[in-house]
Structure 1
Amino acid sequence: MNGNLKYNVKNPNQVMELLTNGQITPAEAFIFFRELDNHKNQIITRANDEEQLEDIMKELDDLIGLDKVKQLVKEIQAFVAIQKKRQEENLLTEPQVLHMIFKGNPGTGKTTVARLLGKMFKAMKILQKGHTVEVERADLVGEYIGHTAQKTREQIKRALGGILFIDEAYSLARGGEKDFGKEAIDTLVKAMEDHKDSLIVILAGYKDEMEWFLQTNPGLRSRFPIRMEFNDYTIDELMQIARMMVEKRQYKFSSEAMSKFEKILINSKNGIYYDKMGNARMVRNMIEKAIRRQAVRLVNQKKISREDLLYIKPEDVSEVEEA
């Protein structure tokens, strides 16, 4: 409450009592009411933020697999929370450099986790908006001198207050010194310094390629202190993902269809192209294909029951190369 006033007022009834007794002026009563209202709004906002943060962390926990990633995200969340508490107590705080590198194959949850981090940092008041802007080389690199810096700055502007997620980031360094990708990196590094309190950058891509990328530009290592590795899903995890995706769409696998689906995953797991098209992305493609094939199977059927509409059968499930 206002330090210039001698009364420790905790609710509107106290204000009215003081005003009625002539102990405060109407102007002082107005100040008390305003401060009580502000205090109430702060409590409500804090409670909403805490509730939102709990929902986000539950959403993270509900993701299938990704145990090491979940642990690291929780470490980041705890670190940020404690640094804020230390700041409130006027204790020394560690610098919050939250730029990250995500390493892993496609379909391993990198984009999903980036979006959750954006929402988490918004709830924690680290980012104002918490949105995620997803870009790749073509969105950043131009065709002539000066064009790249302009394009990169436009994407940075879109991402301010949130996360700039650059997929296949290593492609920015593939052309060597004369390639315009280097200009994009330089523009990005400058923006990270200029907007350090309103922008988090996540570079993502295949593990080996990202390691090569960091070697070509050693200065990036210190600017991206947080690194997460997204491992390929196991067959059991992929089947859990498949069942979850099917249920969300209000479909069901017949037991035979589920067996066929699992066999396809097992056969493709060691395939030469698995790392390019595999994991949850492959599962999603297979399910979408199965739903279309089920529709073709049913569309000319004279009588269609609810059970017909619900169940995906073995003939609806296609091989990976067909998906």
Structure 2
Amino acid sequence: MAFSMHAPVQARPEERRQALDDIDLPEGELPGSLAEIYEKSGIPEVFARLDRDLIGLAPVKGRVREIASLLIVDKVRRQLGLTAEPPTLHMSFTGNPGTGKTTVAMRMAQILHQLGYIRTDRLVAVTRDDMVGQYIGHTAPKTKEILKRAMGGVLFIDEAYYLFRPENERDYGAEAIEILLQIMENQRDDLVVVVAGYADKMAKFFTANPGFRSRVAHHIDFPDYGAAELLEIGELMLARQNYRFDAKARAAFADYVKIRMNQPHFANARSIRNALDRARMRQAIRLFQEKDKPLTKESLTTIQEGEIRQSRVFRGGIEGWPEGVPDAQGAGQPGMEK
């Protein structure tokens, strides 16, 4: 998951606004300007939260706004009897880890709910292990239970390509895919499915599963963050926890980011979060080593240069990677920092 300042799955009731279904339109009468409808829908607040949640990602935010524009126009057309069927809403999010896919899926769930396309703004995030069983007769109940939980909202399947393992003829992922495709087609008015993962692996997945390709209408690519964006993300992460860099630590962290983002297994905002967790641990160790000094608010909240420079990254290693383990081991495997 990418860095998120605010990541509740469900909006608070007092934050919700009237869905377009609730806007009264006299028969055959246009509802006014799209700007007025847009404000009444409550979508501006969702976009404001998205901007607070995620640094950068202008192309992604632009695509989300385009989809929202389509849905608003479609909603008005439906109310005027100009459209018979709702648009296909299943989506594909592609990009490296830590680029905001889960957070954007949360906000998309809120947008779809605000516009009345789904009953709730609930997001159910799963992986292969949540849907595929280990023995005959185990997969169908697991998959159906996940679908039951997600119904009325959004189902987010991370690393969806792991559902398909053609090299193992005894694998049960195909059964989960078959059930999922049936629901995506037959109950698309009550469930939106978002599949996510690396771009190249998702392309192969769609090629091997044409049923998925034909059911997914919206494809959004999530770019990697730049060094300046990652530094800003790091500072916001610290601020949320009432920490800050001093001047030398900030410069050191800028150096850290530039090195780390060019190493294997870099996971964008996820790697930044992990690096800051280790820096906070080093700060705590330093404070204990200085235990005879009186504590101050300044000392408890400030990350110093040493807490950053101690990283293995500055010694040619990869911080967080076990000593003695080859850098290539585990690359691309589920659960590893990629």
For the aligned pair, the TM-score class normalised by the smaller chain equals 0.7 to 0.9
What does residue 141 of structure 1 align with? 132
Contact preservation (8 Å) 1:294, 1:316: yes
Amino acid at match of 1:55: E
Deviation at 1:179, TM superposition (A): 2.0
Cα separation, 2, equivalents of 1:195 and 1:292: 48
1:61 to 37, 45, 51: 51
Amino acid at match of 1:212: K
Q: How does 1:226-241 map to 2 (within 5 A)?
A: 226-241=218-233
Cα separation, 1, equivalents of 2:78 and 2:189: 16
What does residue 261 of structure 2 align with? 269
Amino acid at match of 1:288: D
Normalised TM-score (structure 1): 0.81
Cα separation, 1, equivalents of 2:72 and 2:275: 41
Q: How big is each residue's C-alpha offset from its partner over 1:221-279, in whole Å with a ceiling of 9 and x where there is no partner?
A: 110111111111110110111111111111110111111111111112221222xxx20
What does residue 122 of structure 1 align with? 113
Amino acid at match of 2:255: K
Amino acid at match of 2:180: L
- The question of 1:294 aligning with 2:286 is answered no
Q: How does 1:18-167 map to 2 (within 5 A)?
A: 50=40, 52-62=42-52, 63-92=54-83, 95-167=86-158
> Structure 1, unaligned stretches of length 5 or more?
1-41
Cα separation, 2, equivalents of 1:50 and 1:237: 33
Contact preservation (8 Å) 1:102, 1:202: yes
Deviation at 1:51, TM superposition (A): 6.8
Which secondary structure does the structure 1 equivalent of 2:252 belong to? helix
Cα separation, 2, equivalents of 1:185 and 1:256: 52
Cα separation, 2, equivalents of 1:128 and 1:54: 20
Q: How does 1:309-320 map to 2 (within 5 A)?
A: 309-317=300-308, 318-320=311-313
Contact preservation (8 Å) 2:46, 2:111: yes
Cα separation, 2, equivalents of 1:304 and 1:178: 61
Normalised TM-score (structure 2): 0.77
What does residue 176 of structure 2 align with? 184
Contact preservation (8 Å) 1:175, 1:181: no
Amino acid at match of 2:184: M
What does residue 236 of structure 2 align with? 244
Cα separation, 2, equivalents of 1:210 and 1:196: 21
Report the more deviating stretch, 91-100 or 256-265: 91-100
In percent, how many aligned pairs have the same letter? 42
Q: CA RMSD in A?
A: 2.2
- The question of 1:304 aligning with 2:301 is answered no
Cα separation, 2, equivalents of 1:310 and 1:50: 42
Contact preservation (8 Å) 1:102, 1:110: yes
What does residue 284 of structure 1 align with? 273
Contact preservation (8 Å) 1:264, 1:319: no
What does residue 199 of structure 1 align with? 191
Which secondary structure does the structure 1 equivalent of 2:99 belong to? coil
Amino acid at match of 1:286: A
Deviation at 1:94, TM superposition (A): 6.2
Deviation at 1:123, TM superposition (A): 1.4
Contact preservation (8 Å) 1:86, 1:93: no
Between Structure 1 and Structure 2, the one with more helix by share is 1
Cα separation, 2, equivalents of 1:70 and 1:301: 50
Report the more deviating stretch, 170-179 or 61-70: 170-179
Q: How big is each residue's C-alpha offset from its partner over 1:31-88, in whole Å with a ceiling of 9 and x where there is no partner?
A: xxxxxxxxxxx67xx99x9474222111223321111111110011111111111112
Q: How big is each residue's C-alpha offset from its partner over 1:84-133, in whole Å with a ceiling of 9 and x where there is no partner?
A: 11112121356411101111110010011001111111111111111111
Larger relative contact order (CA 8 Å, sep ≥ 6): 2
Cα distance change on mapping 1:126 and 1:251 into 2, 3 Å: same
Cα separation, 2, equivalents of 1:204 and 1:240: 25
> Structure 2, unaligned stretches of length 5 or more?
1-21, 24-35, 321-338
Contact preservation (8 Å) 1:235, 1:265: yes
Deviation at 1:204, TM superposition (A): 0.6
Amino acid at match of 2:273: R
